[in-house]
Amino acid sequence: MTKIVDSCSFQTKSSEGRVFELEDGRILIGFLDPMHTPKIKT
């Protein structure tokens, strides 16, 4: 399992959620809005 090294909350007009920075450099974005699905950016 990859360790999360940093995280922060964000809020936009349409949604809010958290951004996680993973140990291997990937960014994981998790939306609290059920209309959005989590996306992984490399």
Q: What was the pLDDT predicted at 42?
A: 58
pTM over 0.85: no
Q: What was the pLDDT predicted at 37?
A: 59
What percent of the chain lies above the pLDDT cut of 70? 76
Q: What was the pLDDT predicted at 15?
A: 76
What average pLDDT does range 28-42 have in this prediction? 67
Q: What is the 3-state secondary structure (H, E, C) of 17-32?
A: EEEEEECCCCEEEEEC
Q: What was the pLDDT predicted at 17?
A: 86
What average pLDDT does range 14-32 have in this prediction? 86
Rg (CA), the chain: 11
Output the six-digit token pair for 3: 């360790």
